[in-house]
Structure 1
Amino acid sequence: MTYSGVVKVGGPADVHELTDLMISKVAVGPMDNNSYLLRCRATGEQLLIDAANDAPTLLQLIGADSIGAVVTTHRHGDHWQALAEVVAATGARTYAGRYDAEAIPVPTDVPVEDGDVVRVGRVELTARHLVGHTPGSIALVYDDPHGHPHVFTGDCLFPGGVGNTHQDPVAFASLLGDVEAKLFAVLPDETWVYPGHGKDTTLGAERPHLPEWRARGW
């Protein structure tokens, strides 16, 4: 089946099958968060991005092969409500941006800096530190050697704009600047964007609107 990226709370996961990586997207409530299970096709190793909520749903998605790591994209509580339970059940190592780690109640085993590589099996994800939605938000970029890049943006980039900066012009300028410099400036239009809530998009779909976002201030 063709991947659409459209999921709903209580519904099935949608699976994006790439040559080296399988990406399973599931929605969990009550904030309609997206969680992503990444599986290396060569080794079977798995990694979860954002144990947001509903641990039973996430553990069912993970299955008997378990996971080696959980990456939390940022400190906001709706992105780690199931983290403690998932870690207790799987023994997974925890990763989070260095500047958000202290605000996440589950201890972070690996504080992540900008440019660090996070591995799942033979697949490498590059962390990009995007400041503004929170001080330590991270995105994860998979530069697929067989196709276009894929980026997991947490709450930093959505269809139609960057993440909420609570009408703080300094935070907004920082977030938009980082998103422009670290994503739009270096990745092609075909780059697939997997956000922390809602539908997916591509950088090409959003790129023409960057001046509009800057002008409106959110």
Structure 2
Amino acid sequence: MSYTGDVAKGGPADVRELPALTISKIEVGDFGNNAYLLRCDETGDGLLIDAAAEPDRLLDLIGDRPISSIVTTHGHQDHWMALEEVARATGAQVVAHPLDAGDLPVPVTREVEHGDRVTVGVVTLEVIHLRGHTPGSIALLYQDGHLFTGDSLFPGGVGNTQKDPERFDRLFTDVVERIFDRLPDETWVYPGHGADTTLGAERPALPEWRARGW
């Protein structure tokens, strides 16, 4: 079956097989959080994006193959409630932006900045810093076609900035300049909650987002 990104709490992972990378998405916890397991097809190495909740389910998803990294997209608690247990069980390095690192329950092994690279096996992901939802929110980009956005970009708008116009302006500007102005419409967006989308589906609404301020 083809990948849709539609998952439900307690349900199976939705799996997308790319030429060099396999992406598995599940929903965990009480806040509809998405967690993504990325596997390098050549080496079998894995990377987990947001150990949000339900560590047993995440460890079942990971299985008996290694993961080298756990990336936390930002410091809000609903995105790291299983981090300590999954990191301890796997021995994976903990990756986050330094501005949000202090919010995590375990020491961050590797702090990453805008433009840095994170590897999983022979696959490379680019770190994109998107300021506004939190100071240190990051997205991960694979090959200009697959973008994991945490809580910075969703179907229908950017992430919550608590009605703060300065934070909204910062996040909206980053999302436009660092994502929409750079990447093609076919780019698939994997958000921190809910359904996936594409940049092409969201691009026509950018003026509306700017006008409404959220």
The total of aligned residue pairs comes to: 214
2:203 — aligned with what? 207
The letter for the 1-side match of 2:130 is L
What SS class does the counterpart of residue 74 from structure 1 fall into?
Answer: coil
In structure 1, the residue matched to 2:53 is: 53
Name the SS for the 1:135 alignment partner.
Answer: coil
String of CA shifts for 1:94-113, please: whole Å, max 9, x gaps. 00012111111211000110
Which residue is 1:88 aligned to? 88
Listed as ranges, the gaps of 5+ residues in structure 1 are: none
TM normalised by structure 2 equals: 0.99
Q: Distance in 1 between matches of 2:107 and 2:189?
A: 28
The 3-state SS of whatever aligns with 1:25 is strand
Report the TM-score, using the length of structure 1 for normalisation. Answer: 0.97
Residue pairs, 1:94-173, within 5 angstroms = 94-143=94-143, 149-173=145-169
Percent same amino acid among aligned pairs?
62
Query: Which aligned runs of 4 or more in structure 1 are off by greater than 3 angstroms?
Result: none
* Structure 2 residue ranges without an equivalent (≥5): none
For 1:29, the equivalent position in structure 2 comes to 29
- Aligned-pair distance for 1:115? 0.2
> What amino acid sits opposite 1:217 in the alignment?
G
CA distance in 2, matches of 1:12, 1:167: 35
RMSD of Structure 2 on Structure 1 (CA):
0.6
What code does the residue aligned with 1:9 have? K
What does 1:63-78 align with in structure 2 at a 5 Å threshold? 63-78=63-78
Which of 162, 168, 174 is equivalent to 2:170?
174
2:44/2:66 contact within 8 Å kept: no
Amino acid of the structure 2 residue aligned with 1:71: V
CA distance in 1, matches of 2:104, 2:93: 14
Q: Distance in 2 between matches of 1:99 and 1:162?
A: 20
198, 201, 206: which is aligned to 2:194?
198
Partners of 1:103 and 1:77 in 2: how far apart? 8
